[in-house]
């Protein structure tokens, strides 16, 4: 039986706004344990030269996102299977949850903003978008790269992104939708932000001189998911078993680019 960590008010906020902040889900000690495990994964990447420094982005290139860390570190695998994460995802999705993947973020000093985007653009879950479980491992604010959300944007479905551009555009981004505004989030170590896979969100630049903004995000879909993009089709259930779904070859994002520009 999973411990319930969301109040009714938080659930209502999630349904109405597309996200919710859940304070104090994990203890400071648990947050530090995850940070140590991510550092071990990062150190292996440095030693194996899978992480290489770029002269163009000398610091950011040394601290790239660490993808699917639950598959390469036992402590991170256990953390990703925690009932607080799976139980909350199941409540948000209305059915048993499946883990799509995990990503560790360092957000080093001087790191640029993460442009506004929607997670399901890259996950490709059909017919529903799933949800994210973002764990704040450091204090996060607009000053050091905290999250920013566009309330209510989850109701708009998948939006047509801007064409891919430079590294700073994260491959895809969307503008703030008409009649919507951004809000900034502030979190403490151990706090969790949950948000819908269609919620438009991003993060601020880290404007501090020396501080990192560590976080770990887990993405979930419901067990009724029919298909996902090929890189996401291998999932985990709450028992840690591998679950496979068909490859999504007709995700709605492709249809967005086929539509004629109405402007």
Provide the pLDDT for residue 260.
Answer: 42
Q: Could you read off the pLDDT of 113-159 as tens digits, one per residue?
A: 999 999 999 999 999 999 999 999 999 999 999 999 999 999 999 99
Provide the pLDDT for residue 23.
Answer: 98
In which band, very low, low, confident or very high, does the pLDDT at 257 lie, cut at 50, 70 and 90?
low
In which band, very low, low, confident or very high, does the pLDDT at 245 lie, cut at 50, 70 and 90?
very high
Average pLDDT over residues 215-232: 96
Provide the pLDDT for residue 261.
Answer: 44
Q: What is the CATH number of domain 8-258?
A: 2.60.120.620
Q: Could you read off the pLDDT of 163-195 as tens digits, one per residue?
A: 554 444 455 789 999 999 999 999 999 999 999
The whole-model pTM stands at 0.93
Is residue 100 pLDDT above 60, yes or no?
Answer: yes
Provide the pLDDT for residue 263.
Answer: 36
Average pLDDT over residues 229-252: 91
Average pLDDT over residues 71-96: 98
In which band, very low, low, confident or very high, does the pLDDT at 162 lie, cut at 50, 70 and 90?
confident
Q: In this predicted model, which residue has the larger pLDDT, 116 or 258? A: 116
SS (H, E, C) the chain: CCCCCCCHHHHHHHHHHCEEEECCCCCHHHHHHHHHHHHHHHHHHHHHCCCCCCCCCCCHHHCCCEECHHHCCHHHHHHHCCHHHHHHHHHHHCCCEEEEEEEEECCCCCCCCEEEECCHHHHCCECCCCEEEEEECCCECCCECCEEECCCHHHHCCCCCCCCCCHHHCCCCCCCCCCCCCEECCECCCCEEEEECCCCEEECCECCCCCCCCEEEEEEEECCCCEECHHHCEEECCCCCEEECCECCCCHHHHHHHCCCCC
Q: Could you read off the pLDDT of 22-75 as tens digits, one per residue?
A: 999 999 999 999 999 999 999 999 999 999 999 999 999 999 999 999 999 999
């Amino acid at each position: 039986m999973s411990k319930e960590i969301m109040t009714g008010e938080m659930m209502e906020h999630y349904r109405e706004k597309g996200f919710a902040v859940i304070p104090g889900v994990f203890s400071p000690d648990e947050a530090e344990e995850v940070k140590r495990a991510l550092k071990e994964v990062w150190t292996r990447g440095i030693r194996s030269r899978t992480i290489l420094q770029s002269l163009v982005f000398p610091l950011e290139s040394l601290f790239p996102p660490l993808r699917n860390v639950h598959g390469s570190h036992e402590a991170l695998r256990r953390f990703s299977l925690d009932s607080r994460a799976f139980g909350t995802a199941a409540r948000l999705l209305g059915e048993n949850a499946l883990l799509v993947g995990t990503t560790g973020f360092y957000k080093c000093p001087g790191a640029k903003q993460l442009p506004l985007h929607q997670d399901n653009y890259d996950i490709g879950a059909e017919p529903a978008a799933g949800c994210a479980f973002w764990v704040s491992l450091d204090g996060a604010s607009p000053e050091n790269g905290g999250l920013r959300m566009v309330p209510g944007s989850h109701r708009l479905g998948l939006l047509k992104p801007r064409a891919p551009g430079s590294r700073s555009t994260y491959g895809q981004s969307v503008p703030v939708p008409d009649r919507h505004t951004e809000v900034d989030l502030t979190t403490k170590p151990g706090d969790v932000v949950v948000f819908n896979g269609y919620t438009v969100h991003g993060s601020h630049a880290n404007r501090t001189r020396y501080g990192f903004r560590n976080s770990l995000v887990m993405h979930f879909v419901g067990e009724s998911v029919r298909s996902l993009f090929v890189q996401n089709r291998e999932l985990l259930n709450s028992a840690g078993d591998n679950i496979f779904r068909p490859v999504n070859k007709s995700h709605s994002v492709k249809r967005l680019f086929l539509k004629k520009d109405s402007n």
